[in-house]
Structure 1
Amino acid sequence: MLKESHSLIAKLQKNKILIWFLILTITILWGYAWVLMKEALAYMGPFTFSSFRFGVGSITLVLIVLLSKKGLPPKRYWRQLVILGILQTSIVFLLVMYGLRFVDAGKSSVLLYSMPMWSSILAVKFLDEKFTPAKFLGLFIGMIGLLTVLGWDIWVGQSFDVIFGEILIIIAAISWGVSNIFYRVNLNGLSQLQVNAYQMLFGTIGIIAVTLFAEWGQPVQLNMHSIYYILFTGVLASALCFTVWFLILSIIDMVSATLSTLLVPIFGLVLSSFILGETMSAGVVAGSGLIIIGIVVSQISKKHPRRI
Structure 2
Amino acid sequence: MRETSSAAVRRGGILLACAIFLWGMNWPIMKIGIGYIHPLWFAAIRVLLGALTLFTFLAFRGGNILPNRRELPILLSVGGLQIGLGMALIHSALLYVDAGRSAIIAYTMALWAAPMAAWALGEKLTVAKGAGLLMGIVGLLFLLNPLTFPWGWNTATLGNVLLLLAAVSWAIAIVHVRAHTWIRGHLQLLPWQLLLGGVLISITALTLDGPPHITPSWTLGAILLFNGPLATALAFWAFLAAARALTSNATAMGSLAVPVVGFAASHLLLGEPLSASTLGGLGFIVGGIFLATIGGFKRRRT
**TM-score if structure 2 supplies the norm length?**
0.92
Q: 1:17, CA displacement in angstroms? A: 3.5
Q: Which moved more, 1:214-223 or 1:194-203?
A: 214-223
Contact 1:112 1:173 in 2 (8 A): yes
Q: Percent identity?
A: 29
Give runs of aligned pairs for residues 178-189 of structure 1, distance below 5 A.
178-186=172-180, 188-189=182-183
User: 2:295 aligned with 1:303, yes or no?
Assistant: no
Query: What secondary structure does 1:202 align onto?
Result: helix
Q: 1:46, CA displacement in angstroms? A: 0.2
Specify which of 197, 202, 226 is matched with residue 208 of structure 1.
202
User: 2:43 aligned with 1:47, yes or no?
Assistant: no
Q: 1:248, CA displacement in angstroms? A: 1.0
Q: 1:71, CA displacement in angstroms? A: 1.8
Aligned residues: 298
Q: 1:62, CA displacement in angstroms? A: 2.1
Contact 1:73 1:190 in 2 (8 A): no
Q: Provide the residue aligned with 1:66 in structure 2.
A: 59
Give runs of aligned pairs for residues 1-308 of structure 1, distance below 5 A.
14-68=7-61, 69-150=63-144, 152=145, 154-158=146-150, 160-186=154-180, 188-217=182-211, 219-301=213-295, 302-305=297-300
Contact 1:187 1:195 in 2 (8 A): no
Contact 1:81 1:199 in 2 (8 A): yes
> Quick one: distance in 1 between partners of 2:294 and 2:204?
39
Query: What secondary structure does 1:67 align onto?
Result: helix
Contact 1:81 1:195 in 2 (8 A): yes
Q: 1:52, CA displacement in angstroms? A: 1.1
> Quick one: distance in 2 between partners of 1:35 and 1:26?
16
Unmatched runs of 5 consecutive residues or more in structure 2: none
> Quick one: distance in 2 between partners of 1:66 and 1:93?
26
> Quick one: distance in 1 between partners of 2:247 and 2:134?
25
Query: What secondary structure does 1:109 align onto?
Result: helix
Q: Which moved more, 1:295-304 or 1:76-85?
A: 76-85
Q: 1:305, CA displacement in angstroms? A: 3.6
What is the Cα-based RMSD across aligned positions, in Å? 2.0
Q: Deviations over 1:45-66 (max 9, x none)?
A: 0011111111111111122233
> Quick one: distance in 2 between partners of 1:74 and 1:22?
29
Contact 1:255 1:305 in 2 (8 A): no
> Quick one: distance in 2 between partners of 1:244 and 1:86?
22
- Which stretches of structure 1, 4 residues or longer, exceed 4 Å deviation after superposition? 9-13
> Quick one: distance in 1 between partners of 2:6 and 2:59?
25
> Quick one: distance in 1 between partners of 2:194 and 2:115?
25
Contact 1:92 1:172 in 2 (8 A): yes
Q: Read off the aligned partner of 2:298 and give its amino acid letter.
A: K
